[in-house]
Structure 1
Amino acid sequence: MPYSPLLIKPFREELTSIGFVELCTADDVDRAMKDATTGTTLVVFNSVAGCAAGTARPGVRLALDGDAKRPDRLLTVFDEQDIEATAKMRSYFPDIPPSHPSIALFKDGELVYFIPRHRIEDRDAESFAADLRSVFNEFGQ
């Protein structure tokens, strides 16, 4: 069941304020992924989970502030909130079980890297950001 929009507004803004495009419907996801056939696209499955607040969102912010190659597109869906959009985004990699928060990196429309919740929780934002920078540098252009 979705949380109050007022409660999650700061969680959404933590990503949109740094350039993420929020995808709220299945059509939004299809349009965005149609544009993601060239270059790199970072997708963050946002969440109210504690590791989203303590590691995932802060780690993403730090990684993007660093000197790593930056993904061409930054997209986000909010798991357990924008249910239709989240399901549609997951349909782009159906063999990977749902996980939130989680992070997907696409290159030229193909999923090249996925970070599930269990690789985010119990970490600090700085070490998570360092891992993300490595991924950006490996797959960036």
Structure 2
Amino acid sequence: MDFNFFMNDVVQQARKDMQSAGYQELLSPEEVDEALKADGTTLVMINSVCGCAGGIARPAAAYMANYDKKPDRLVTVFAGQDKEATARAREYFTGYAPSSPSFALLKDGEIKMMVERFEIEGHEPIQVVQKLEQAFDEYCK
């Protein structure tokens, strides 16, 4: 089996999972700036190809797209794939080390909370959902 073919398939499925859940892919630094500087609330899901992204983070992200209170925008960047867009998004996450998968909630361009990889890996999707629900309840309409 060709490893690159396999990885492309995994990457495409990971992208499709987020698009199907209603997240807008940000592919360039300019798209990141436009989304993250906008007024209101934005959830950024830092996607990746690791198992905890596929088994925990993406299912939690999909669930949150249907939560009663939700951000004005649901967006995603793909670590290791869309490197410039991911690097730009991480510039907004002041005080947090690069982490993927992860979630960041911003309000009016300012980081309000982060769910880092260590809070995802080894946990159940419901535990990630509960952290996101608390943040949505606090910061979203």
SS at match of 2:49: coil
**1:13 matched to 2:16:** yes
Higher relative contact order, structure no. (Cα contacts within 8 Å, ≥ 6 residues apart): 1
Q: 2:36 and 2:117 mapped to 1: Cα distance?
A: 22
Q: Does 1:43 align with 2:44?
A: yes
Which whole-Å CA distance do the structure 2 matches of 1:93 and 1:131 have between them? 17
- 1:108 alignment partner in structure 2: 108
In the alignment, the residues of structure 1 paired with residue 121 and residue 7 of structure 2 have an alpha-carbon distance, to the nearest angstrom, of 24
Structure 2 runs not aligned, ≥5 long: none
Aligned-residue CA RMSD (Å): 1.7
State the alpha-carbon separation in 2 of the partners of residues 42 and 114 from structure 1. 10
User: Structure 1: which 5+ residue stretches go unaligned?
Assistant: none
TM-score, length of structure 1 as denominator length: 0.88
Provide the residue aligned with 2:138 in structure 1: 138
Give 1:40 shift.
0.8
How many residue pairs match? The answer is: 137
**Paired residue type of 2:24:** V
TM-score by length of 2: 0.88
- 1:96 corresponds in structure 2 to 96
- Contact 2:115–2:131 (Cα < 8 Å) also in 1: no
Say whether residues 1:117 and 2:120 are aligned partners.
Answer: no
Q: Percent identity?
A: 43
| In structure 1, C-alpha distance between the alignment counterparts of 2:94 and 2:34, rounded to whole Å | 18
Structure 1: 4+ residue segments shifted above 6 A: none
Q: Answer with 12-21 or 70-79: which moved more.
A: 12-21
In the alignment, the residues of structure 2 paired with residue 66 and residue 72 of structure 1 have an alpha-carbon distance, to the nearest angstrom, of 12
